[in-house]
Amino acid sequence: MDISIQFNVTTASEQEIIVVGAFQKKTTKGKKEEKSAITSTWPKEYQITYKELNTGHHFDGSAGQSYSFDFDGQRILAIGLGEKSKLNDEGLRKAIANMLKSQHKTVSSIGINLDTMLVKGGLERTAYLVTESLVLTNYLCHDYKTAPNPIKLEGVTLETKTKKSAGKKAEAAVDSAIKVADSVNLCRDLVNAPPNELHSESYAKRIEADVKKNLKRVKVKILGKPELKKEKMGMFLSVNSASNYQPRLVHLTYTPAKKTKNTKHIAFVGKGLTFDSGGYSLKPSKSMVNMKFDMGGSATVYAAFRAAVLLELPVQISCFLGMTDNAVNNQATYPDSIVTARNGKTVEILNTDAEGRLVLGDVLSYASDLKPNAIIDAATLTGACLVALGTEVCGLMGNDEKLKDKLEKAAKATDEYIWQLPIIQEWRDDMKSPIADLQNIGKSGFGGTAKAAAFLENFVGEGISWAHLDIAGCGDSQSHLPYCPSKGGSGIMVRTLVEYLKSV
C-alpha cells in the first residue's frame, strides 16, 4: 500500500472513495437532546449533497458510525468521530482502522480528507496518526497461504487544503509514521514465522540481511557457540544444549551521525527463543502450541532499534538478541543441573522451562560491560504475567524509578498499556538456592513475573539503570485493537520503545 500526502486539495480527487470525518454535536430542543453530524469542515459541495440526502438515515457522527453517499460519480464515506473534545489519538487510530478494514478488500484507492478529522496537535499529528493506523491495520500475515493476498487496496492519499509550503511537517510526519509502523510489522512477521523456518541460525541471518539492506551507521557482530564458550555464558549454553541449531548472540551497534560526549547510550536486550518446548521440564501439548512466539522480545527490541535508526535519532543504541530454541534430546540439560553464569554466579536449574531468564541473564551481563546509560530488556518471560495483567498489559519492572517513569510516559504517549510490578527483598531471597548462589524458579509458585525479574537483576552490572518488560501477554493476539491482528504477533511495545528513545 502506497501512502502519500497531497496539498492544495479542494474537492476533485481521483480516488475510488473519499473519506471524511464527522464530529458530533449535541443540541437540546426543549427537553430533548438531539445529536447530529457536523459537516461544516467538509468541502461545500459534499455538504450540499449530504443535506439533500439527509432524510431517512441515522448518521449522527457517533464514533463507529459510517454513512456513504455519491457525489459526482464518486463515493464519499463519512465516518463518525464522536464529540470533537473527546477525540484523542487512540480514537482516531481506531476510526481509521475500522474504516480501512471495511474497504481494503474491495477498493483499490482511498483519499482521506485530513482537514475533517483534526486532533489536538493539528495537521502534523493527524497525518502521523492516520498513517500509523493505516500501515498497522493493513498488515495481514498471508505469507504461508497459497491463496493470493485478499487485499485489493493499492494506494491511499492523505488530502488537505493546506498549501504545500506550509505542510512540510505533515509530510515528514507521514514519512516517520511509515518507518515506525513498518518496523512494527516486521516484528509481527518475525513472531509469526514458524519454528521450522525461523531458528537461531536463520533468525540471525535475517536480522543481518535486514540491517544491510535498510539501515545505515549500524555495525553487526554475531557470536556463535565458540564465542559464547569464550564468554563463559554457561546459562545461555545450557539452554542451547539440546538444540539442532547453533546459538546466536546478535550484537548491533548504532552510532548517530552527530555524536558528542553528551550523547546517551541505551542498550536493548531481547529474549529470542525461537521455540520453547520446556526442555526436560516439558510443556504439556496445549501450552507448547504458539511457543514460536517466544522470540517476541528480541523481535520487539530489534524493531524499535530499526525504527530509531531509520528516524536517525540522536542516541547511541546497542541491541543484543539472544537466540536459541529450548529443545529436548539426550544432550538436554537435566533439572538439578548447576551451571555457572557469565558473571561467575552459580545457578541451580530446577526447571528447564524457566529458560528465558538463563539466556537473558548472560546477555544482560554482556551488555553491562559496555556501561550504557540504561539497559531495557523485553521478553515473553512468564505465564504468570498473563495471570497478573491479562493479554493487554505489559509488565514493567526494574531498578531505577526514573527509567520506569520514562517508559510509563512513553507508553501513555503511544496508547500502549504498561503496569509496574515491584521487586521486593523477599522475592530476591526466594530466588536463592540452598546449594548454589541462585535457583532459576521461586520456592512458591506465586509472584512469578517479578521473581523472574528478581533473578535477572543479579546479572545487571553494578550501578546500571535497568528495566524489564514482560510481554508474555501483550506480545500477540490483541483482538481488542482494530489496528492489530486478532491472532499472531502484535508488535505492542515497539512504539513505546521508540517513543522512549525520543525522550532520552
Identify any residues that bridge with 36 across adjacent strands, giving them in sequence order. 25
Contact between 80 and Zn ion by CB under 5 A: the answer reads no
CB-count exposure of residue 346 (10 Å: 0-12, 13-18, 19+)? middle
Q: Select the binding partner of residue 332 from Mg ion, ligand BES, Zn ion, none (C-beta < 5 to 8 A, by kind).
A: none
Of residues 231 and 355, the one with the C-beta less far from Mg ion: 355
Catalytic option among 125, 283, 409, 502: 283
Burial 102-119 (b: 16+ CB within 10 A, else e): ebbeebebbbbbbbbbbb
Q: Which of 353, 362, 430, 476 binds Mg ion (CB under 5 A)?
A: 353
Contact by Cβ (8 Å): 465, 402: yes
Q: Give me the DSSP letters along 67-124.
A: EEEEETTEEEEEEEEE-GGG--HHHHHHHHHHHHHHHTTT-SEEEEEGGGS--TTHHH
| Residue closer to Mg ion, measured from CB, 253 or 300 | 300
| 305: Cα separation from own chain's centroid | 11
Residue 348 interacts with Zn ion (CB under 5 A): yes or no: no
> With CB cut-offs between 5 and 8 Å by kind, which of ligand BES, Zn ion, Mg ion, none does residue 384 bind?
ligand BES
User: Closest separation between CB of residue 328 and ligand BES, Å?
Assistant: 14
CB of residue 384 to ligand BES, shortest distance in Å: 6
Q: Identify what 383 binds: Mg ion, ligand BES, Zn ion, none; CB under 5 to 8 Å per kind.
A: ligand BES
DSSP state of 265: E
Strands 218-223 and 248-254: antiparallel
Residue whose CB is less far from ligand BES, 183 or 277: 277
Given the complex with Zn ion, which of 275 and 305 has the nearer CB atom?
275
- Tell the smallest beta-carbon distance from residue 119 to ligand BES (Å): 35
State which of positions 168-197 bind Mg ion (CB under 5 A). none
Classified as helix, coil or strand, 276 is strand
Residue 298: name its binding partner from Zn ion, ligand BES, Mg ion, none (Cβ under 5 to 8 Å by kind). Answer: none
Instruction: Determine if 296 is a binding residue for Zn ion (CB under 5 A).
Output: no
Shortest separation between residue 134's beta carbon and Mg ion, angstroms: 36
Q: Which residues in this chain contact ligand BES in the complex, by CB under 6 A?
A: 276, 294, 351, 353-356, 380-384, 386, 441, 448, 472
C-beta closer to Zn ion: residue 201 or 276: 276
> CB of 348 within 8 A of CB of 440?
yes
Asked if 377 is part of the footprint of Mg ion (rule: CB under 5 A), the reply reads no
Binding mask 305-344 for Zn ion (x = CB under 5 A): ----------------------------------------
Q: CB of 470: closest distance to Mg ion in angstroms?
A: 13
Binds Mg ion by CB under 5 A, chosen from 132, 201, 276, 362: 276
Whole-number Å distance between alpha carbons of 142 and 164:
37
**Least CB distance from residue 224 to Mg ion, whole Å?**
23
Q: Could you say whether residue 294 binds Zn ion (CB under 5 A)?
A: yes
Position among 16, 89, 276, 476 found at the interface with Zn ion (CB under 5 A): 276
Q: Is the dihedral of CA 76, 82, 83, 88 positive or negative?
A: negative
Among 306, 357, 451, 495, the active-site one is: 357
Active site residue 283: yes
Please state the closest distance from residue 367 (CB atom) to ligand BES, in A: 20
Handedness of CA 248, 276, 271, 332 (dihedral sign): negative
> Taking Cα atoms as reference points, which of 61, 134, 65, 119 lies closest to residue 87?
119
Q: Which one of the spans 269-277, 401-409, 431-439, 486-494 is the region binding Zn ion (CB under 5 A)?
A: 269-277
If we measure between CA atoms, which residue out of 194, 347, 218, 343 comes closest to residue 274? 194
Taking only Cα atoms into account, the Rg of the chain, rounded to an integer number of angstroms, comes to: 25
Q: At what angle do helices 494-503 and 401-413 cross, to 10 degrees?
A: 120
The SS3 call for residue 149 is coil
Question: What is the spatial distance between Cα 450 and Cα 462, in angstroms, rounded to a whole number?
Answer: 20
User: Between residues 353 and 457, which has the closer beta carbon with respect to Mg ion?
Assistant: 353
Task: Select 374 or 378, whichever has its Cβ closest to ligand BES.
Answer: 378
Active site residue 259: no
Question: Shortest gap between Cβ of 353 and Mg ion (angstroms)?
Answer: 4
Residue sitting closest to ligand BES (CB): 383
**Angle, CA of 381, 185 and 99, to the nearest 5°:** 120
Let me know how many helices (H) and strands (E) the chain has, helices first: 15, 18
Nearer to ligand BES, 4 or 479 (CB): 479
∠ CA 499-503-504, nearest 5°, is 120
Residues that bind Mg ion (CB under 5 A): 276, 353, 355
Residues that bind Zn ion (CB under 5 A): 273, 276, 294, 356
Q: Could you list the active site residues?
A: 283, 357
